A and B are shown apart, each in its own frame.
Chain A
Amino acid sequence: MKRILTLVGLAAVPLAVLGVFFVLPVSGMLSEGFWVDGHFDPAAVAEVLTRPRTLRVVWFTVWSALAGTTVAVLLGVPAAHLLHRRRFRGRAVLRALLLVPFVLPTVVVGVAFRELIGEAGPLGFLGFDGSAGAIIAGLAFFNVAVVIRAVGAAWESLDPRPAEAAAALGASPAHVFRTVTLPALRPAIVSAASVVFLFCATAFGVVLTLGGLRYSSVETEIYLLTTNLLDLQAAAALSIVQLLAIAALLVVTSRLRAVADPSLARTTARPPRVSRGDWPSLLATLLVTVLVGLPIAALVVGSLQVGDGWGLGNYRALTTEGSRQALLVPVTDALVISLRTAVDATWMSLSLGVLVAIVVTRRSHSRAERRTRGALDGLFMLPLGVSAVTLGFGFLITLDEPPLDFRDSLLLVPIAQALVALPLVVRTLAPALGGVDDRQRQAAASLGAGPLRTFVTVDLPIMWKPLLAAAGFAFAVSLGEFGATSFLARDETPTMPIVIFHLIGHPGAMNYGMALAASVVLAATTAVVMLAVERLRVPSLGAF
């Protein structure tokens, strides 16, 4: 009984936040679709599901997301090995750079990709522009960092001794990887893959920009139905499909995530230097660097073009409001606003994420308890799978009356961003927390440690690295979030992605150049923050 109470107590705050800022708005929008002129009409919603167009859209969403996830995992896992288990010069910089795509607004990435693969671009001969291949490359570009970070963090905390023992007994590196390392990494890989799949399945800008309008995903279709056609029945039908698909995905992944002995090591050995045997990881890292580096290079080159020559004019212009006052505030102000918002979003999603991760990873004592924990685990993943436009419109129609009158609140932006980042935070923390042997906590408790002390001495040392990785993710998500933010941000406090979107949508070569320069600044800021986070890592974890 006491255990259940504790569980409820821990989960109360995250549940309340999720209830008000997610469940309520989304169900508000769904009911707009189900209740037509005051009476309940589910038949109209069901009819939408039988349209051939709906089936086509759902099928495209599923296979493109699967393909994007596969590419991201196949490249990300070996790259995680090199970047987290090997030592080489420039490793920290490379790690930080690879996280950059994560924060770039899709509208800019779309432009950067299309400058490369478009008919007039250096890779135009590939005929990639407007193809499904371009969409999948775009999805992998955005998400490979998730795999590298999440799997890398787990890999670092992995006890190297079983693998060494296997090698000493004569197993080949491939054999060791297959029989020792891979099973131990499986929870992290499955976690990362499920998050990446959700990101891919709900991608919006990438599908429209790189697909040349020939492809529609569930997300783009909901956007069209809600903002253009006001066909809320159809939008509700597709939202239900999204929710059901996520539920199914969560059931599958929770099975795959379970491992027999999840114990993690508390100390990490100094990683060895790169050797000849590392060629698969080297190759993958090279590919990832090219995939991520080329579009970014295209951005940098574009931002340095002034008229027919080269210069820093676009960067100097960032302290202004753009040509003919395209903006209300200078780009530099927007950067400050972005950073402040990101700090808020980070502490919010970390506080919620730690609580959720504790709740979902503690060993259950009864079937009911395990079910409850499983359901909670899934509940907090949902924000990833629901369209930002559904959430945005839902905010407007449900959070408009006291005591929940939040429509004008400045806190809405960081809260929405924190909810978007929350699944990522939980998925980064949970594998590590789940890997703590419960007997250690019991030992601490029997020696007289209180719950807080047990947490600090047993859980925190293990969680330290994943916690930093999660903080980095949350910060990056907040810096780059566009969908919900564009809906909720007040125009006197725009974030960088919004300013960039404004600039690129206004005529005039100056505004275009400024948009590219602002993207480079956003990318560089992210890279610097990520580097700083890596430096924060405390070397001697045993100090606690």
Chain B
Amino acid sequence: MLAPTLAVVLAASACSLVGGDDESGNGSASGEASKRVVLVTHESFVLPKELQKQFEKDTGYELETRASGDAGALTNKLVLTKDNPLGDVAFGVDNTFASRALDEGVFAPYTAKLPEGADQYLLEGDDDQALTPIDNANVCVNIDDTWFADKGVAPPKTLDDLYKPAYRDLFVASGAATSSPGMAFLLTTVAAYGAKWPDYWERLMRNGLKLTDGWSDAYQVDFTQGGGKGDRPIVLSYDSSPAFTIADDGTSTTSALLDTCFRQVEYAGVLDGAENPDGAKALVDFLLTPEVQAALPDSMYVFPVDSSVKLPADWAKFAKQPADPFAVAPADIAEHRDEWLRVWSDITSR
């Protein structure tokens, strides 16, 4: 009876030798640990290949990127592996999750030299300056201007408008429990209505708010200007979204309601216990260079923190940023996230 076992084991080992080609490439990279920088980030991280090559050329480091999950999954991964970190530097922890990472001591202090205008994005309560702001974007309610023009209906402007009968069954948003823009919108209402935010949500639900799993479902399937041509002209998205709905005549068919926005800032930081802390610092500095900052809008759909960087033409024209977005202190978010999400789930699943 040992014969078949042996046969299978032999077959298996022969095949893994075939697969061994991939392994050797991987092995050589880890061989020179001091020359390698490992960046841990979320799945939305994208940078042009030329820029990554430029970083490798300028610094002599080899850049390896491990990208998976959303900002929440990234933060929790960093927390769970803090004793044996997944890499040297992390990018993508945002202001809604930052407190948790700081409280758990995930990041080592590093004060990077910030570009013009970036200090307004520093995290409140981060006294060691462990986190460096890299980009920002606002989650705002977006509307299909062409739809409202065609129907001759005055478009909504404020949060309070959204539960008025004129906009019944017109609004679609992604949920707070399952998506990062959804969480930001929940925080918008917490900032706007204080302890009364649950009442606001009950009104929204009564007015036919449709909730989806993630951003893509809401925007691509249900929104009238999304890829699937849905039938709801009000959607939860970003302040940059109008730059992606340019019609043939050169104008945008959508706009963001700037009085409904919540600011999200994404941070980078050197991981505590990194094998290559110098390489990690070099990467944080690199993310702040004018070249990377200028590439952010096209690559990741976010605004640079460097106010001197020139935005792409469509962005300069159509992606308007709010002057005074809503904000909730990071420590408050960390303390109440659980409770707020539970109350929110109870209202929305009724």
Contact = CB atoms under 8 A, between A and B. Distances in A.
Contact of A507 (B2, B70, B219, B232): B219
B15 A227 contact: no
B44 A505 contact: yes
Interface stretch (B19-27, B120-128, B275-283, B286-294): B19-27
B22 A114 contact: no
Interface in A472-530: 486-492, 501-502, 504-509, 511-513
Interface string A367-410: 00000000000000000000001000100110011000001111
Interface residues of A, number: 78
Interface in A4-28: 6, 9-10, 12-13
A326 interface: yes
A347 interface: yes
A502 B11 contact: no
B216 A505 contact: yes
B26 A408 contact: yes
Given A229-B341, A410-B22, A209 B217 contact: yes
Interface string A79-122: 00000000000000000000000000001001100110011100
A324 B175 CA distance: 27
B46 interface: yes
Contacts of B73: 227, 389
Interface stretch (B60-68, B107-115, B190-198, B265-273): B60-68
Interface stretch (A132-140, A169-177, A449-457): A449-457
Contact of A213 (B177, B222, B229): B177
Nearest to B211: A213
B214 A229 contact: no
A451 B298 contact: no
A231 B178 contact: no
Given A400-B81, A506-B301, A348 B338 contact: no
Interface in B285-310: 298-299, 301
A302 to B, nearest CB: 7
Nearest to A490: B66
B323 interface: no
Contacts of A358: 4
Interface in B66-95: 66-70, 72-73, 75-77, 79-81, 84, 86
A111 B46 contact: no
Contact of B23 (A114, A228, A411): A411
B117 interface: no
A114 B213 contact: no
Interface in A312-352: 324-328, 344, 347-348, 351
B77 A507 contact: no
Given A228-B177, A344-B19, A393-B77, A13 B9 contact: yes
A115 B220 CA distance: 10
A508 B30 contact: no
Contact of A324 (B1, B30, B298): B298
A247 interface: no
B129 interface: no
A54 B194 CA distance: 28
B230 A110 contact: no
A120 B230 contact: yes
A411 B66 CA distance: 15
B301 A507 contact: yes
A406 B213 CA distance: 32
B15 A486 contact: no
B48 interface: yes
A167 interface: no
B202 interface: no
Contacts of B75: 230
B86 A396 contact: yes
B15 A347 contact: yes
A224 interface: yes
B216 to A, nearest CB: 5
Contact of B3 (A227, A450, A489): A450
Interface residues of B, number: 74
Nearest to A504: B216
B80 A487 contact: no
A32 interface: yes
B12 interface: yes
A302 B228 contact: yes
A396 B77 contact: yes
A208 interface: yes
A444 to B, nearest CB: 13
Main secondary structure on chain A at its contact with chain B?
helix
A115 B5 contact: no
A490 B43 CA distance: 11
B28 interface: no
Contacts of A355: 4-5, 8
B320 interface: no
B84 A111 contact: no
A505 B67 contact: no
Contact of A489 (B68, B84, B338): B68
Interface string A269-304: 000000000000000000000000000000000100
A15 B28 CA distance: 31
Contacts of A351: 8, 11-12
A396 B66 CA distance: 12
Given A13-B9, A344-B19, A325 B1 contact: no
A491 B211 contact: no
B231 interface: yes
A9 B1 contact: yes
B220 A111 contact: yes
Interface in B222-277: 222, 226-232, 237, 241, 244
Contacts of A450: 3
B149 interface: no
Contacts of A115: 221, 228
A213 B178 contact: yes
A61 interface: no
A507 B26 contact: no
A127 interface: no
Nearest to A204: B213
A354 interface: yes
Q: Which 10 A-B pairs have the closest CB atoms?
A: A512-B227, A120-B231, A208-B213, A227-B73, A452-B3, A507-B244, A213-B175, A6-B1, A491-B67, A228-B72
28 contacts: A9-B2, A32-B80, A111-B216, A111-B217, A111-B220, A111-B228, A115-B228, A118-B221, A119-B222, A120-B231, A209-B212, A209-B217, A212-B210, A213-B178, A214-B211, A227-B76, A229-B341, A328-B49, A344-B15, A344-B19, A358-B4, A397-B80, A400-B84, A411-B23, A450-B3, A489-B68, A507-B301, A512-B228
Interface of A: 6, 9-10, 12-13, 32, 53, 107, 110-111, 114-115, 118-120, 130, 205, 208-209, 212-216, 220, 224, 226-231, 302, 324-328, 344, 347-348, 351, 354-355, 358, 389, 393, 396-397, 400-401, 407-411, 450-452, 455, 486-492, 501-502, 504-509, 511-513
Given A216-B345, A490-B66, 8 more contacts: A107-B216, A213-B178, A224-B177, A227-B70, A409-B23, A410-B23, A451-B1, A486-B69
